[in-house]
Amino acid sequence: MRVGLRVEAVATTGIYCRAECSAQPHPHKVSWYSSSVAAEAAGYRPCLRCRPERRAGSLADLDVPAPVAAALLAITDGFLDDHDEEALATRVGYSGRQLRRLFEAHVGATPATIARSRRAHFARRLIDDTDLPFDAIARAAGLGGPRQLHRAITTTFKFTPTELRSKRRRGERAGLDGGLELLVPYVAPFNFQAFAEHQASRAIPGVEAVNSGAYTRSISVCGYAGIAKVSDARDSQHVRLRLHLPTYDSIIDDVARCRILLGTDADPTDAAAVLGDDPIVGPLICAAPGLRVPRSWDRFETAVRIVVGQQISLAGASTMCGRIVARLGTPIDAGGEMSDEGGAPVTHLFPSATAIADAGVVALAGLGFTQRRIDTIVGLSQAVANGDIDLRSAEPIDDAVARLCELAGIGPWSAHLIAMRVLGHDDAFPAGDLGLRRNVAHLVGHDVSARELEALAQRWRPYRAWAAQHIWHAGNGGASRAAAWSPDPAISAESAVSARSAISNPTDRSST
């Protein structure tokens, strides 16, 4: 667990703060908690000066058992909005009592407390950042109505919604023209431009677009189609999320999906601490310290995008996915705010796993796929639809890859990319990727096979996904990344010698 994300609670005031808050309480009156949720469970309310509850990553990277990690992931995905703690416990293989005990020991709060805190903090953001009426805020945060909103807010913050709105700082709220606009915090540094470049080359026509540095996509909330647009807030603290929706019910889940896709809660310094001294990856990290591993907004959509991309170019894969969308996707109104202003229109929702599974192989005929690829896409869709494959699984990387490879047409390359982008594994590494091999060969000065790259990558554990992302990023950079991509001869020679040593002796991890 990252100590820097702990909070300090002051017994005499009943308030908890960030460690770097300017307030200076007496040390004997301070208690430390692992997260804001744990402090709130102990009866403390967040400081109005340093706003510790708004810090990105407050529950990220907790050192917890796998079932607790899986439960936290489910809570983040809104599982407890429609189920109780017993159902959550059953999902991760525990009794309700056992799961609560584990949560209290490792997180400092029960699953229900975390879910309530999540809804209350999201409602607080809407109170601060918008002029939405309180009944709309209650629905948006997954609360039943104004009465439940009042109870959740006063319990967590010790102020009523009206009092909090009156306390908000001038200039803090965002405007509502052209949609509901929110500021999503991130763990700095964060390279939004790198994210936009990554998505631009992989955007699915009709579903996603990247124009003028902003990422736009179709979304579905409570059965309603809408548009989400993400851009850099340029304040070194937030990305700007604009939502165009006919209803704001439960948009808390889409804010969570935005954070997952961009990796806003991940701390790049964790990977840098392991990889920074590596002669191959280290210079790339220094050149792009805010780079993240992009994940997914729609897990199934990303998995299909990866399968379609087997053995074809990025542009070809985007075109083929666009054909699937045009045939099986759900059309949405592409006029006005339902399109990417000044750029490619967003016209469809990506089809669900059930939709593709029910349509079957016949529906994908005539789109340019081989029969084998059609069978793989439909097989993956059926496995996800019937629950054989859980794209929210928190199982270990080796187990996840093995399970995915049981599906016909999915090998290690696809499985590791799905583990990286969809399941969020930091140590996934598609060693057979042609781009990785070509870029590493450029850095070390000689050709590298998939087997040799797999051996070399052992030194980058447990952040092989981050190493891969930096290698891809540098290789696609052009002049702006020339310093990292073309190091001086001495560094190149050291990298080549180090790489050959690692390939000949895979157990050597001395550089980390």
Domain boundary among 150, 167, 184: 167
161 vs 11, residue with greater confidence: 161
Asked whether residue 449 is assigned to any structural domain, the reply reads yes
Flag whether pLDDT at 328 surpasses 50: yes
Q: What is the CATH number of the domain that holds 162?
A: 1.10.10.60
Catalytic residue among 17, 21, 47, 50: 17
Catalytic residue among 128, 254, 427, 433: 433
Domain boundary among 148, 167, 186: 167
Q: What's the pLDDT score for residue 306?
A: 98
Q: What's the pLDDT score for residue 205?
A: 96
DSSP assignment of 468-497 equals: HHHHHHHHT-GGGGHHHHS--HHHHHHHHH
Neighbours of 403 (CB within 10 A): 18
Q: Over the stretch 3-27, which tens digit does the pLDDT of each residue have?
A: 345 788 888 888 888 877 777 777 7
Domain boundary among 167, 184, 209: 167
Q: What's the pLDDT score for residue 274?
A: 96
Mean pLDDT of the 173-192 span = 75
56 contact partners, CB below 8 Å, separation of at least 6: 184, 185, 186, 187, 259, 264, 265
Query: What CA–CA distances, in Å, run from 433 to 72, 190, 460?
Result: 32, 26, 16
Flag whether pLDDT at 51 surpasses 80: no
Residue 133 belongs to what H/E stretch?
none
Residue 244 belongs to what H/E stretch?
strand 238-244
**One-letter identity of residue 200:** A
DSSP assignment of 72-85 equals: HHHHHTTGGGTS-H
Asked whether residue 133 is assigned to any structural domain, the reply reads yes
- pLDDT category, 489, cuts 50, 70, 90? very low
Tokens 């928190």 appear where?
394
Q: How many helices (H) and strands (E) does the chain have?
A: 23, 11
Asked whether residue 415 is assigned to any structural domain, the reply reads no
Q: What's the pLDDT score for residue 342?
A: 52
DSSP 8-class letter at 188? S
Mean pLDDT of the 427-439 span = 95
Q: What's the pLDDT score for residue 171?
A: 46
Give the Cα separation of 410 and 383 in Å (integer). Answer: 12
Range of the domain at 500: 282-287+428-504
Region of 43 please: left (phi>0), alpha (psi -120 to 50) or beta.
left
Q: Is residue 265 annotated as a catalytic residue, yes or no?
A: no
Of the ranges 251-260, 354-363, 443-452, which is most confident? 354-363
Q: What's the pLDDT score for residue 257?
A: 92
Residue 66 has φ and ψ, to the nearest 5°, of -55, -40
Give the Cα separation of 134 and 129 in Å (integer). Answer: 13
Q: Over the stretch 369-426, which tens digit does the pLDDT of each residue have?
A: 999 999 999 999 999 999 999 998 888 999 999 999 999 999 999 999 999 999 999 9
Lowest model confidence (mean pLDDT) among 107-111, 370-374, 482-486: 482-486
Give the Cα separation of 221 and 344 in Å (integer). Answer: 22
Mean pLDDT of the 318-322 span = 97
Decide if 217 contacts 329 (C-beta within 8 A): no
Asked whether residue 320 is assigned to any structural domain, the reply reads no
Q: What's the pLDDT score for residue 48?
A: 73
DSSP 8-class letter at 236? S
Decide if 426 contacts 466 (C-beta within 8 A): yes
- pLDDT category, 59, cuts 50, 70, 90? low
Decide if 451 contacts 428 (C-beta within 8 A): no
| pLDDT, mean over the chain | 84
Percent of the chain scoring above 90 in pLDDT: 53
Asked whether residue 273 is assigned to any structural domain, the reply reads no
Flag whether pLDDT at 359 surpasses 90: yes
Q: What's the pLDDT score for residue 176?
A: 34
Query: Cα dihedral angle (441, 414, 331, 340), rounded to 10 degrees?
Result: -30
Q: Is residue 433 annotated as a catalytic residue, yes or no?
A: yes
Decide if 139 contacts 189 (C-beta within 8 A): no
Does pTM surpass 0.85? no
Flag whether pLDDT at 509 surpasses 60: no
DSSP 8-class letter at 178? T
The residues with which 244 forms a beta bridge, in sequence order, are 227
Asked whether residue 130 is assigned to any structural domain, the reply reads yes
Mean pLDDT of the 134-154 span = 91
**One-letter identity of residue 290:** G
Residue 30 has φ and ψ, to the nearest 5°, of -105, 135
Number of domains in the chain: 2
Q: What's the pLDDT score for residue 56?
A: 58
Give the Cα separation of 274 and 511 in Å (integer). Answer: 9
Give the Cα separation of 136 and 247 in Å (integer). Answer: 9
Asked whether residue 482 is assigned to any structural domain, the reply reads yes
Give the Cα separation of 226 and 221 in Å (integer). Answer: 7
